[in-house]
Amino acid sequence: MKGLYIMQPHGVELECRVVWFGLPLPWPNDLITVLMPGLPFLTKGDCFYETVVPELDGETLEKSVAPIVKEYFEHGDTNEVLLQLQDLNLGKHEPELSVLAVSLSLEGRASHRELTSRLLSDLCHRALSKRQLATAFDKLLGNLGELLLDTPDASQMLGQFVARAVADDILPADFLESHKGRVACVHARAALDRASVLLGIKRSILKLDNVWGVGGGQRPVKHLIKEMNLLLREYLASEDVAEAEHCLKDLEVPHFHHELVYEAVVMVLESSKETMRQMIVKLLKAFWDSGVLTIDQMNRGFERVFASMDDLILDVPLAHSILEHFMDNCLKEGVISKQLHSQCPSRGRKRMHFAPQCPQFSA
């Protein structure tokens, strides 16, 4: 539609007057000729007002977008992100949205990275193009040196992001091929190699949906129990407390930490090795001291063992004495409270209850 548009920046009040064709205009004629070559065709009343949003510069983009991404990590609604982005004019900085989202997720949890992969997939073709996403990943590969300072595993994680993006069809299929032999940074090459390996393994699968695992409480209970057992067995093999704590935190299920306590104590009861019992005490103490295990989760784990003793003694006849000895060590190390220790079941405390005899049947 032909006419004169007076552009008003978003949030800024301008004093504008209606411009009629043939009357003096508030701008020089040469400027009008350049900006509005169709001016001779204007007729009386052809004047329109439109609100525009100023383009964000590099400094204000992070301040505006970072809170949106961090809120998204809490609510997980990609449509809400799209609505909020509509109020911003990223302009030529649109690829920076992906760069910022991935960078923030690298500093967060596995569930944040899964949410970021979903966000990139949902934004593609709606707010971002494949070319813009490719530009964003190119920049991330170039920034790996800085990202590694805060996230030592950034190369491997970025490789997983690339693999997931290719599998989700939001990066060109030849993205990896186009970078072969052209990347000088050893960290960037490691990221691309990781992506190549993942895509090779999952070639028959359309999407790498499980590249970040299933987030926190969304995991099936059986899967979590398996992960807890694996964590304990790896610890017993390596004696690496820090790695065990890292793996437990990565599961993101603090409400289910009682399962770790339960599985650990059951392992102690089923083992005849004193060294293994000492290692479990050491692990539980480390988790207790760091705050990973709360008193509620610790108590609940032991109480579940107490409730299972009738079944456990079928396979481990000495389970009661082993448990008493183990809990003595835990109390000595400050892992459990005296109150919990006093609840430890033993054969000697088990009593038989009989109904009183009726007088007429007594001798």
Contact 136, 99 (CB under 8 A): yes
Arithmetic mean of pLDDT over the chain: 80
Higher pLDDT, 337 or 202: 337
Higher pLDDT, 72 or 350: 72
Contact 331, 338 (CB under 8 A): yes
Q: What is the pLDDT of residues 268-312, one digit of tens each?
A: 999 878 999 999 999 999 999 999 999 999 999 999 999 999 999
**Beta-carbon-side half-sphere exposure of residue 79 (alpha carbons within 13 Å):** 0
Angstrom distance (rounded) from CA 158 to CA 163: 9
CA dihedral 125, 131, 135, 140 (to 10 degrees): 50
- Give mean pLDDT, residues 309-319: 92
Q: What is the pLDDT of residues 62-102, one digit of tens each?
A: 888 899 999 998 888 889 998 888 888 877 888 888 999 99
Nearest Cα to Cα of residue 265 among 299, 219, 223: 299
